[in-house]
Amino acid sequence: MSIKKNLFYNKKEDIIEGYQDHALQGRSPQMATHALVFMIGGIRKKLKQPIAYYFSSGSVTADRLSVLIKEVLQHCFDAGVNISATVCDMDGVNKRALSILGASVEQPYILLNNREVVTIFDTPHLLKCFRNMFLKYDIKCPTNITSNDQIGFGVAKWSHIKEFYETDNTNPNFVFAPCLKQEHLNPNTKQKMKVKLAAQVLSHSVAAGMYAKISQGELSSEAVTTANVIANMDKLFDCVNACTPDLRRGKPYSTNMTNNTPHLTHFTLMKNFFKEMTFLGCKRAPPSQEGWIWSINGIERIWRNLSSKHKSIKSLETRRLQQDPLENLFGCIRANCGCNSNPTAGQFVAGLKTAVLSNLSFIGTGNCEEDQNQVILTNFKSLLSPPTDTHTAYATILTDELEESVNSTFECSLEESSGEIQACAYVCGFIVKNNLNKCEICEKIFVSETQERSHTFINFKEYSDLKKSLKYASKNLINCIESSATMIYDFLEAEAYKKKLKGTIKVLFKNSINWEFLDECPEHKDMNIDYLFNSVFHICMKRFCILKNRQFAEEYSASALKRKIDILQNK
């Protein structure tokens, strides 16, 4: 699922969220643009549970993905979860990662610790891919006509479906395929994403209608090949989308697979179809063509494995081998982010947690059939635990009061370098004012007795001349805070994606700043350093993220503008 580039300092984890984060494989300086989610679903029981997520930049490699898949599988095994198969879509990286793990079209499984895990691709996605290719290219495929022991070939054409639609709609009242519409025949980009439209056009009723029109001479006999392809694809999709133990709607291929159902025979026929067919004019066979053979081999293998290992398993509901529950989870997360189709990493995590807590009960008008799965997770303790707060009371005051009020000023003032020191003085004034340490010696260190040039800005910020609510920080303090901030920004520019930021920066802070000006009060020196650190750390973390996010927003609007100009110039 794609997410928006955005940085956010997570106090609980002490990391800046928004960088590529592959957990045990480490974090890296690239910005995250995608959330990668792993979910487990039951084959027999209607269970589903998201179990892991990672943040990736657009360039996640197949090598890394294969490591992550292994990691997740290992964790499942360790937890006693029996994984019989993995499902993903036909994305290039997904397929390469599975290949690295040893799976192939003919051997669609991986071995991990001597356990076999079958790999298949999401069949609704494969159906869409097939339809999209068929829209563009005619299909040359074997027919059931042979002559002199030579198999005959026919050509299936999308234009036949259009012809059928047109002749069908010349009937004033009744048509063979009433559900067929322009959006099926000429889908736009958005409609091409819809599985339902693909399933409706590659359907039994369209095939039957075409056969009838051919027999009446209203459609060319050439269209038989097209009708055959449609009829076979309809049966295939029923086979891989089976979800009922009985003959629903009288469709035998929609019933759960057993050794006595026609599924296995049809699988053999269709594997041969995909092996022999070519998309005419297409330079290379599309990945989905091999993807179908791979997935059919996979489903057959899952069935063999399950039915031979477990005598109690008499049938297989093939719809459970799809990734609909995962896509519904994404819909749920987007809904939890306020219908935000492009949430940030932070919003994604929050949305995911909400989705898990609300039992993933999202009923949307999405691309997937509503699934009736239950979640497994019942222990919400760790999800709901409050942040492990290691900050002092000072820090709490800062985050609640100081930080908010300071940031807006700090933010706009720091832009003009001439105002920098003055803005810093203003921030220091707040830091002094919020200091709970009321020691008189310390007060002398921090507060300036005379008003200096650097305090001009504070003067203007005073609401009333009579009541001086803001403090004038001492020169020493202003210099200290200013050099601390510079040091922290320099560090963040290079290492913001790393973990344990607070600890690392604190060591740097203690070692690289001149603390002599605090020597006048040895009793409170350490406490003062801690207080100054907590103050400046939180302000700088927040400001760093604000500046970066502003940059991302500018980049985004620049690229959006470029897209619009390209469209206007017909590029």
Question: Which residues form the interface with Zn ion (CB under 5 A)?
Answer: 439, 441-442, 521, 524
Q: Cβ–Cβ contacts within 10 Å for residue 177, how many?
A: 22
At 280, list the tokens: 């005419």
Rounded (5°) CA angle 326-330-333: 135
Q: Which amino acid is at 125?
A: H
Instruction: Find out whether 498 and 27 touch, Cβ atoms under 8 Å.
Output: yes
Q: Cβ–Cβ contacts within 10 Å for residue 170, how many?
A: 8
Rounded (5°) CA angle 259-265-127: 110
The least distance separating Zn ion from the CB of residue 455, rounded to whole angstroms, comes to: 23
The least distance separating Zn ion from the CB of residue 519, rounded to whole angstroms, comes to: 11
| Of the candidates 266, 268, 236, 276, the residue with the CA atom closest to the CA atom of residue 142 | 276
Instruction: Find out whether 214 and 163 touch, Cβ atoms under 8 Å.
Output: no
Give residue 558's region: left, alpha or beta (phi > 0; psi -120 to 50).
alpha
CB nearer Zn ion, residue 328 or residue 435 = 435
CB nearer Zn ion, residue 196 or residue 524 = 524
CB nearer Zn ion, residue 521 or residue 540 = 521
Rounded to whole angstroms, the Cα distance separating 236 from 238 reads 5
The least distance separating Zn ion from the CB of residue 509, rounded to whole angstroms, comes to: 20
The least distance separating Zn ion from the CB of residue 525, rounded to whole angstroms, comes to: 8
CB nearer Zn ion, residue 162 or residue 524 = 524
Q: What is the dihedral of CA 494, 497, 503, 509, to 10 degrees?
A: 20
Residue least distant from Zn ion (Cβ): 439
CB nearer Zn ion, residue 239 or residue 527 = 527
DSSP SS3 for 28: strand
The least distance separating Zn ion from the CB of residue 444, rounded to whole angstroms, comes to: 9
The least distance separating Zn ion from the CB of residue 451, rounded to whole angstroms, comes to: 23
Task: Give whole-number Cα distances, 143 to 44, 140, 274, in Å.
Answer: 38, 9, 13
The least distance separating Zn ion from the CB of residue 477, rounded to whole angstroms, comes to: 14
At 300, list the tokens: 């057959």
The least distance separating Zn ion from the CB of residue 447, rounded to whole angstroms, comes to: 12
CB nearer Zn ion, residue 81 or residue 439 = 439
| Of the candidates 472, 434, 467, 470, the residue with the CA atom closest to the CA atom of residue 453 | 472
Rounded to whole angstroms, the Cα distance separating 220 from 223 reads 6
